[in-house]
């Protein structure tokens, strides 16, 4: 039986009595450890691909790590970000196809920096948009804060006729097949949907400033959360929403008295790096 290394064994000590915050800390250490192993495995897999199967890696991950290591030969910023743990293999691999474009050379370092600031979902969306821009002959530059502002302003002013009884409007991006399916579902059950404020398909309106302490019902003070995050997060004191919708919201997760939140995001799926008020 293989002995568990000491640095791994330390993650298991007292695990049965660890609270949610201690579990989060240990998971972060485990993820960092896995990240370091991935970075060390990548050049080995490039020479000996069969090691991936012995290490229990999926063929998809083996191909991604090999591709990523080859890309690192050309773009040192990408390799350094991956090896330093600032980028996961998923984040780094999402950039490889984009950075290989001829017009991407002036933006490579900026793309690596951008990948560190946003969620994986936002990164994939931005990479797809840049690839489409490159196909139109435009420079595949990374977005910045102003691009989110422009996008949100467009949502605010979109010229769509309002319904007479409309109180709130939602905007989202999705593949055309998904959008059509959702529209068909809405049309089929429209008469049975509740028009009052509250839950619809498990989603709830949340007020950044609670109405119980004087918060208003205007759209700048409202956002949507799933029922779980609304009830077990915000109203249980584990999640806090601050700011004005849609462009100036900040989401703080994992709240504890006297300590910084575990995670902070702001509008646009960006990691918040400012000071906590």
DSSP state of 142: P
Q: What is the mean pLDDT of residues 177-181?
A: 73
In whole angstroms, what is the distance from residue 183 CA to residue 88 CA? Answer: 36
Helix (H, G, I), strand (E, B) or coil at 122: helix
DSSP state of 230: I
Given a cut of 70, is residue 27 above it in pLDDT? yes
Structure tokens at 214: 């004087």
Given a cut of 90, is residue 139 above it in pLDDT? yes
Distances (CA, A) of 42 to 62, 94, 127: 8, 16, 23
DSSP secondary structure string, 185-225?
HHHHHGGGS--SSS-BTTEEEEESS-GGGT---SGGGEEEE
In whole angstroms, what is the distance from residue 260 CA to residue 277 CA? Answer: 10
In whole angstroms, what is the distance from residue 277 CA to residue 175 CA? Answer: 38
Q: What is the mean pLDDT of residues 150-175?
A: 54
Q: Which residue has the higher pLDDT, 266 or 192?
A: 266
Crossing angle of the two packed helices 59-74 and 76-83, in degrees rounded to 10: 130
Q: What is the mean pLDDT of residues 53-65?
A: 89
**What is the helix (H) or strand (E) element at residue 271, kind and residue range?**
strand 270-271
Crossing angle of the two packed helices 108-117 and 120-135, in degrees rounded to 10: 150
Dihedral angle of Cα 121, 127, 133, 139, to the nearest 10 degrees: 140
| Residue 150's pLDDT band (cuts 50, 70, 90) | low
Which range, of 14-23, 36-45, 78-87, 124-133, averages the lowest pLDDT?
Answer: 14-23
Q: What is the mean pLDDT of residues 137-143?
A: 93
Instruction: Give 243's strand partners.
Output: 249
| Residue 116's pLDDT band (cuts 50, 70, 90) | very high
Angle at 93 between CA 90 and CA 99, to 5 degrees: 145
What's residue 170's pLDDT?
Answer: 62
% of residues, the chain, pLDDT over 70:
79
What's residue 124's pLDDT?
Answer: 93
To the nearest whole number, what is the mean pLDDT of the chain? 81
Structure tokens at 8: 């791994």
Judge if pTM exceeds 0.85.
no
What's residue 51's pLDDT?
Answer: 86
pLDDT digits (tens, 9 = 90+) for 219-258: 888 888 877 788 888 888 889 999 998 888 999 999 988 8
């Amino acid at each position: 039986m293989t002995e568990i290394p000491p640095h791994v064994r330390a993650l298991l000590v007292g695990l049965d009595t660890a609270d949610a915050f201690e579990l989060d800390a240990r998971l972060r250490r485990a993820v960092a450890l896995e990240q370091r192993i991935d970075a060390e495995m990548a050049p080995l897999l490039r020479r000996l691909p069969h090691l991936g199967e012995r290490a229990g890696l999926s063929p998809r991950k083996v191909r991604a790590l090999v591709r990523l290591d080859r890309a690192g030969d050309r773009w040192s910023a990408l390799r350094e970000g991956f090896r330093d743990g600032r980028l996961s293999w998923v984040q780094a691999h999402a950039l490889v196809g984009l950075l290989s474009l001829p017009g991407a050379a002036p933006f490579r370092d900026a793309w690596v920096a951008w990948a560190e600031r946003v969620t994986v979902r936002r990164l994939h969306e931005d990479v797809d948009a840049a690839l489409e821009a490159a196909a139109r002959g435009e420079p595949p530059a990374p977005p910045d804060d102003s691009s989110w502002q422009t996008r949100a302003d467009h949502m605010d002013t979109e010229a769509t006729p309002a319904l007479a009884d409309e109180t709130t409007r939602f905007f989202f991006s999705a593949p055309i097949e998904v959008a059509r399916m959702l529209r068909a579902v809405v049309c089929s059950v429209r008469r049975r949907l509740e028009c009052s404020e509250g839950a619809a398909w498990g989603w709830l309106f949340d007020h950044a400033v609670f109405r119980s302490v004087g918060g208003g019902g205007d759209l700048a003070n409202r956002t949507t959360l799933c029922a779980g995050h609304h009830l077990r997060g915000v109203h249980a004191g584990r999640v806090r929403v601050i700011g004005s919708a849609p462009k100036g919201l900040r989401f703080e997760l994992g709240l504890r008295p006297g300590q910084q939140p575990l995670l902070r995001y702001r509008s646009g799926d960006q990691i918040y790096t400012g000071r906590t008020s």
